[in-house]
Structure 1
Amino acid sequence: MTLEEKAIRTGEFSEISNNDMHIIEAIGIDEPRNMSFVAKKLSVTVGTLTIAVNNLVKKGYVNRTRSEKDRRVVLISLTEKGRRAYEHHRLFHDKMIKATIANMSEQEEEVLAQALTNLIGFFEQYQQ
């Protein structure tokens, strides 16, 4: 995580943390998300997410609006700067994956994919 943060905190994105970047990733670039959805996706409380989102709003990465359908619901979405950060993070992960499978045979890639699937299954046991 420390190395990922070092790689991501560059140039325009030097003021955000790895945690901030994962919140940006959870918000995504599609339609605005409600706070409960994003909190659940990140396995944090809405209160914890609110504190982090407040900081991201101040830094210009996230917009916060009220739902037109239900004014009690807070929707969050990425600003243009937030979208650039999202893309920056996505490219980092793409490069990491390409470096991981460089010089692997197709069979080795399949073994790695199966091992990672098994690892995901292991961690999913702890989410229940």
Structure 2
Amino acid sequence: MSVDTRRQVNELIVDIFNKILTLEETYHHMHGIDLSMTEIHTLDAIHKSASKQMSDVAKSLDITQGTLTTSINRLEKQGYVNRVRDQEDRRIYRLVLEDKSFKVLDIHDKFHNEMVEGILRQTEKDEDLVRAIAELNGFFQNMLEENQ
């Protein structure tokens, strides 16, 4: 692989990543969401968590519990999340999304759906795109695992 190809791949990956983040932030702000992407992704991780425990949510986001606590404190102050003591094991707190969180999650899902639909409209062979993205994802997953 030539140096020019390596440079192009690097520039494309960085450019795509930055554009998606910028588009996602802009989309959310246009729809009245005044949360950071970190906070939105935290709500999404809580929503997808089976246990709703801090440790599981932090693990799914690949962050420390301390970092998650900072986000949860802000989200709790703003009325998006509550910490509720588990009825069976009083040592455990569960994260509960408040109603206003679901509006945020609906808009977040809508952005992702529109993005995927737009990408798929640009391609002729969906399975080739899916395979290529899956291979990239696997590559980055391996890098993460090797560096932890």
Fold similarity call, TM over 0.5 = yes
Q: After superposition, where does 1:106-125 map in structure 2 within 5 Å?
A: 108-125=125-142
The answer as to 2:57 corresponding to 1:38 is yes
Q: Contact 2:80–2:97 at 8 Å: present in 1 too? A: yes
Shift of 1:103: 4.6
1:69 alignment partner AA: E
Rg comparison, structure with higher value? 2
Q: Is the 8 Å Cα contact of residues 52 and 96 (structure 2) preserved in structure 1?
A: yes
List runs of 5+ in structure 2 lacking aligned partners.
1-20
Q: Using CA pairs below 8 Å that are at least 6 residues apart, which structure has the higher relative contact order?
A: 1
Q: CA RMSD in A?
A: 1.6
Could you say which structure has the higher helix fraction?
A: 2
Alignment pair present for 1:5 and 2:25: yes
Output one character per residue of 1:28-48: Cα deviation in whole Å (capped at 9) or x when no partner: 167660000000000111111
1:127 aligns with 2:144: yes
Q: Report the CA distance between 1:86 and its aligned residue.
A: 0.8
Q: Tell me how far apart the structure 2 counterparts of residues 20 and 4 of structure 1 sit (CA, whole Å).
A: 13
Distance 1:124 1:10 in 2: 32
CA deviations over 1:48-81 (Å, ceiling 9, x no partner): 1011011011111112111112222121021110
Matched, 1:61 2:80: yes
Q: Which amino acid aligns with 1:99?
A: G
Quick check: 2:84–2:95 contact (8 Å CA) kept in 1? yes
Q: Return closer, same or farther for 1:115/1:62 CA change in 2, 3 Å cut-off.
A: same
CA displacement at 1:98 relative to structure 2: 0.4
> Which letter maps to 2:105?
Y
TM-score (norm 2): 0.78
Q: How many residues align?
A: 125
TM-score between the two structures when normalised by the length of structure 1: 0.89
